[in-house]
Structures are given as C-alpha cells and as structure tokens.
Amino acid sequence: MPKKANSRFLSPPGTPEASYLLNAHVQEEYAARQALYEAQTPLVQRFLEAQAAQLADCISRNQPQAKFALPDRVVVRAATGAPAGTAAVPAGFREQMVGGILDWVTRTDLRTLLRARLVELEEADQPAVSASAMLLRHAVAAHMVQRMLPAGRSVRYKALEGEEIATVPLETGEEPLPAITAGTDAIAEESAAEEERAELLVPYVPYARRFYLPQWVALDDECRLLVGSINEAEAAIASMQQFLAILHMAVGLAPYFVFDAEYQRKRYGMLGQLVNQGRKLAEYEVREMIATIQRRAAAGDLNRGLSLSVPFFDDQQLALATRDFAVIPGGRVMFVPAFVVQAVREEQVKVAQDTRLSASTRKHLLAELQRFEDAFYRAPKS
C-alpha cells in the first residue's frame, strides 16, 4: 500500500495551509536556535553577547565595516537537533571581517553583508563553525530586540473600522508605570482620597499613559501638542521610526526572530503608537495650514496663486508624506474659498483611486482633505 503523501508538499504556495506550515517551520527554527544558545556555557554566552553588542551598534549606525570573532569552543547539536557535546572552532575561522570600501561605494548595507557572511559560515562543513555562526546571528538579533530598545508597558489598541493596524489605545483601568521618567515629565492630578494632602505628581498626561512609551506621545486625542514645539513632536516621531527600524533590522538579519515574544510585544506597542501619533501630527499640521490660509486670505495676501502640500501619514512607509496640488495657478487671480473646495474635491477623486496607498492611508488622507473642504465651503444663501 503506497504511503500517504506529506501534506507539506500538497499545499500550493499562498494557501492558508502553506502559510501555516511555513509559520510552523519558522517557529521551530526559532525554538531550536534559542535552545542551542541556552545550551552554551555562561562564558560563551557572555562572549557572544559582547560580540553581538558591537555588531548591533555597527549595523544601527550603518558602518562601512565591522570585525567580529567566533568563540573558541561551542556546544554543537546532533542531526536530531539535540545538543551533542562541545567542539573547537578552527583558529582560521575565529577572526572575521565584513564590509569594505567597495561595498561602501556600491551602497551595500552592513546588515546585508553580515547576514550573507553568517549564512555562509552556517553552511560550513565544520559543525563548530556552523553552530558559532548560528549562535552569533541569534545573539545579534536578540541584542537589537531585547537590549537596544527601551521596554514599555503592556498596552491594548483597537483598530478602526476597515483597518488592519490597531492604533486607538484602550483604557485598561490599571495605573501604568512609566518606562522612562524625567523630572520635567510630572503633572499634577487631584485625587479625592488625597484631598488633605498636596497634589499628586504623576508622569505624563492620562492619554499618553495609554501608550507603549508615553515619553514619545506628542499629541493628545484632540491633536493638541503635549510638547513644547512642533520640532519636538517631529523628534518624537523620528524616535518611534528608529525604534521600529531597529526591529526591522533584527528580523532582516534573523527572520525567524518574528516569533520572539519580546519582538512581538515591542512591535505591537510601537507600531500602534507611531501610526496614531503620525496621523495626529498630520491633522495638527492641516489645522495650522487652514488657519494660515484663512488669515492670509483675510489680509488679501493670496491673490497671486495658491498650492497645497497636504500632510498625511503613510502606514506602509511608516512616515509622514505630503499630497501636493495646485488650488489657484500663479498670477493675479483673486482668492475665492470655492477654489479650495473645488481643488480638494478633484484631489479626493484621485486619492480614492490611488492604489499605491493602503486602504487605511487613503481613508486617512481623504479625511485630511475633507477638513479643507469643511473649512472653506460656504453654503448658498437662501
């Protein structure tokens, strides 16, 4: 009787069954490498951590070149995946270097070069060399995810209707502790139980404390600045982008690390916060633009043409962008609010059909454009 075919080879790529099998395989790879790392002696683990810290710093700063070393002796695993004793790493493989002038000229990033070199070493015939490369790749990804980035608090977000990314923070009822607190971050809150005492100083405003890292929350739910200036708000956005960039670098080096619990927690917490704050900043800037246009129109300072660069947050690129279009061509044309309404409506039609943007980004951008229409629309007199 013929053997039953393995379902792994019956599921075509792209089907739910194939995706499940792929995820299971990647999850097994993460577990196997974590187990191999934990099987090493404390001395080897400290050595790998030191090398990982050095390499992670070079990767995050995109240095043109990096040197690293493999441990002199490691625990290797048998064909079954279980640890099979220690083996010495040949002296000729101990010292390694990646990158150079040619790679810098061709703009090949260090992470790509390092991953290629470690994968090459993993395929070596010597078990100790292969295990050392696996361990170092795992250690670098772990350092970037678990040590380079600040740990935040447990959060819950909900997704708006029709969107995949959860961005709206939910109030859990628990009093969160801050990840990082500066003396200037405290605010005064009144408590009914503390009426006879002085005001209670707590870090950050209540809305900010619903997010993963409150110190990077620059705008509240009404799009009011919580920081001193727009530059500080942009700096907070940049910090969140760098946070996610480091997570992206880590899984680019070791793709199986997406199953690390700390990676999932940090990505979920920061992704929702970044998209939320990016959209709030775009809305804040739109309101400022509308106020500026109205002020200049009242002063008769817009009779030589008008173009708009409407800011919005692209949740695919995870960055602020602008939608540029002309309202009134250059020349001596008197400004009329209806011109803004007409131009915005035409742009809304284009945005609705722009498949380069995700559905949620289109929805967000259409809402930003609608603010201009609402601000400049004048209902006809009865």
- The answer, yes or no, to whether residue 200 has pLDDT greater than 80, is no
Mean pLDDT along residues 360-375: 96
Of 274, 267, 276, which is closest to residue 249 (Cα–Cα)?
267
> Which whole number is the average pLDDT over 285-309?
91
Is 59's pLDDT higher than 60? yes
What are the tens digits of pLDDT across the range 316-325?
A: 999 999 999 9
pLDDT tens string 330-364: 777 788 899 999 999 999 999 999 999 999 999 99
Q: Are 68 and 49 in contact (CB under 8 A)?
A: no
Place 53 in a pLDDT band, splitting at 50, 70 and 90.
very high
End-to-end CA distance of the chain: 87
What's the pLDDT tens digit per position in 156-167?
999 999 899 999
What is the structure's pLDDT at 203? 65
Domain boundaries, the chain: 15-146, 157-274, 285-376
pLDDT score recorded for residue 301: 86
Q: Is the pLDDT reported for residue 181 higher than 50? A: no
On the CB side of 275, CA atoms within 13 Å amount to 23
CB neighbours (10 Å) of residue 270? 25
Cα distances (angstroms) measured from residue 349 to each of 176, 292, 326? 44, 25, 15
3-state DSSP call for residue 219? strand
Tell me the whole-structure pTM to 2 decimals.
0.84
Q: CA-to-CA distance for 188 and 199, rounded, in angstroms?
A: 6
The Cα 259–Cα 165 span in angstroms is 19
Residue 340, Cβ neighbours under 10 Å: how many?
23
| Phi and psi angles of residue 160, each rounded to the nearest 5 degrees, phi first | -70, 160
Cα dihedral across residues 268, 271, 277, 282: positive or negative:
negative
